[in-house]
Amino acid sequence: MPEAIIDAAARSHTRALILLVTVALLSFLPGFFAIPPVDRDEATFAQSTKQMIESGNYADIRFRDAPRYRKPPGIYWMQAATVLAARAVGFRHALTTIWLYRLPSLAGAIAAVWLTYWTALALVSRRAAVLAGLMMVSCAVLGIEARLATTDAMLLLATVGAMGALARVYLSSHGRPQSAPGRWTSAAAFWTALAAGALLKGPVILMVAGLCAIMLSIRDRSVKWLLGLRPVAGLVWLTTLTLPWFLFIYSQSGSAFPEAWAEDILPKMLQGMEGHNGPPGYYLALFWVTFWPGCALAGLAAPAVLAARRTPATAFLLAWLLPSWAVFELAGTKLPHYVLPLYPSVAMLIAGVVDARELSRRPWLVRGAIWGAVLPTLVGALSIAALIMMSHQWSPLVWLLPGVAVAISISGWRHLARGGAERALLFGVMAALLMSAGVFGVIVPRLRAVFPSAALAELLEASGCAERRAVTSFTFDEPSLVFLAGTETKATDIFGAVGFLSAGPCRFAFVDTADADRFAGQAASTRLRYRPAGRIEGINYTKATAFSLVVYWSGAEHRAK
C-alpha cells in the first residue's frame, strides 16, 4: 500500500531523504540527457557560459558580442565549473553537451526538495513534511526547471533554505525553541541563502523573504523577533559574500552591469517585456497546471487553511505566499516559473491539512478535484498527437505510460471522493512519475522537428571536419544553433553565405529553401566550389513558424557546380 511507504519514510530523516531523492531521480531524469538544447532561455544561458570558457573571462557575461549583465553570474559559474570538471576528466565534446550545463539545475531541484522537507519539519508534522516534499518533487513546473540549464531550480533551493531558517527564528519567538537548532545556526543559514539567491537572480529572494518578514511583523505588531536573525552580523556576512563577486564583475563591465540590472528589473515590474505579459490572475490560472498533481487538493485544503490562519505556522506560510504572489500578479512581465519559489509554502499548507484529515468534503470541491485526472489526459493526448503529426512515430510506450498515468489519476480521485486524501495524493505522485517518463523520456526527444539545431549540428559532425564553421539564414538563428554549431555562427543573407563559403573549406551555410535558386545563381557568378550536404525541415517554436533549410558545404575536394 502507498501509505506503508510514507509510514516507513516518516520514521527517520534518513529514510525520508532516501525516499525523496529516489522519487526525484525517477521524476527528473527521463529526457534529461536526451532532450536537445531548448530555446531560448536555456540555450542562451548555456552559450553564454560556453563563451566564458572559450574566452577564459569569467567576469564578462556575453551572448555572441552582446553583453548579458541582466542576470548575476552565479549560475554561469556553476555551469562553467561543471563543464570544466568534465573536460578535465577527458569528457568528449563537453562544451556542446547540454546536459552537463543542466547538472546544477538537477542538483538544485533535488536539494530544494530536501530543504522543503527540512523547512516543513519546523511547521508541520514529519509525515506532512514527507508529503510536502513529494508534492514538490512531482510538481510539473519544477520537473521542467530541473531539466533546463537556467537559474530557477537553484533559486528555489536558495529561497527554501532562507525561508526554512526564517521559519525557525520566527517560531522560536512564539514558544517553540526546538524550532531553532542553535543561537547562530538559523541566522547564518538565512543570510548565506540570501547571498546565494542574490548571486543567482538578484533581488527576487530578497523580496520573498523581506515581504514575509514585514507581514509577520505587522501581524505581531513587533519587530523584536527579527533580532533572532542577528541583523548586524548578518548584513556584514551578506556583504562579505556578495560584494567581492559584484566588484569582480564591475571591474570588467564598468557601469554596464548595474545599468543592465536597473534597466531589467524596473521595466519588468511596469510592463511586459519580450512579449511575456498577462493580466492579474495569470498565475492563479496557471497554478492548476504548473502545480499538478498537488493542485487537485488545493481547493479542498483552502477552508482548513483559512480556519488556521492565526496559528504561527500557518501565518508564516501565508506570509511567505500571499504578498509575493500579489507582487508577481501585478508585475507587467510574467512567466510561469516566476512563482516557483512560493510553491513550497503551498505544498506545506496542503500537506498539513491532508495529514490532519481536515480536507473539505463539500461535493462541488470534491467534484472539481477531478481536474487532477483531466489534466494528464489532456497533456498526454496533445503530446501523442504532436509526436504523430510532427514525427510520424509510434511506439507502445508512447501510449502506455500516459495511459497508465491517467488511469492512476482517476483511481486517485475515486479514493479522494471516498475520503482517502493521502492515498489520492500518492496516486497523483505516481501518475506524475509516469507522465514524466512518457512525455519527457519518450515523446519530447522524438520531436526532432522541434529541435532543428540538433539535426543541423549532426550534419556538421558527419562531415568529419575538425575545424568547421557555419553561418545561417535569418529564418532560423536561435541560441541553440549558436551553442551547437559554434559561437561564430551568424545570421546572414545570400551574398554573405556565398562569401563565407568562398573563404575556405569546411564551411557550411544554412540557407532558406526558398532562396536556393538565388544562392545557386550567386554561387555560379563567383565560381564557388560547394555541394549540398542535406536539407532540414523544422519548427521554430519561439516564433511559431515552420521552415526548411538547405545545408551547403564548401571544400576543395568538391567540384564546381
Predicted local confidence at residue 297, as pLDDT: 95
Q: What confidence category does residue 560 fall into, taking pLDDT thresholds of 50, 70 and 90?
A: very low
Predicted local confidence at residue 324, as pLDDT: 97
Report the alpha-carbon distance of residue 297 to residue 435 in Å, rounded.
19
Report the alpha-carbon distance of residue 198 to residue 171 in Å, rounded.
25
- Cell numbers found for residue 22: 529516489
Q: Which helix (H) or strand (E) holds 149?
A: none
The domain locations on the chain are 2-262, 363-448, 452-554
Handedness of CA 344, 32, 446, 408 (dihedral sign): negative
pLDDT exceeds cutoff 90 at 52? yes
Handedness of CA 246, 249, 252, 258 (dihedral sign): negative
pLDDT exceeds cutoff 90 at 70? no
Predicted local confidence at residue 273, as pLDDT: 53
- What phi, psi does 35 have (nearest 5°)? -75, 125
Predicted local confidence at residue 147, as pLDDT: 98
pLDDT in tens, 270-293: 555 555 678 899 999 999 999 999
Is-contact 516 524, C-beta < 8 A? no
Longest CA pairwise span in the chain (Å) = 86
- Cell numbers found for residue 195: 547571498
H, E, C per residue of 81-99: HHHHHHHHCCCCCHHHCHH
Report the alpha-carbon distance of residue 25 to residue 180 in Å, rounded.
30
Whether the full predicted model's pTM is greater than 0.85, yes or no, is yes
pLDDT exceeds cutoff 70 at 17? yes
pLDDT exceeds cutoff 50 at 559? no
Question: How many degrees, rounded to 5, is the angle at CA 326 between CA 209 and CA 542?
Answer: 100
Q: Which helix (H) or strand (E) holds 193?
A: helix 185-201
Predicted local confidence at residue 415, as pLDDT: 86
Q: What confidence category does residue 177 fall into, taking pLDDT thresholds of 50, 70 and 90?
A: low
pLDDT, greater one: 325 or 262 = 325
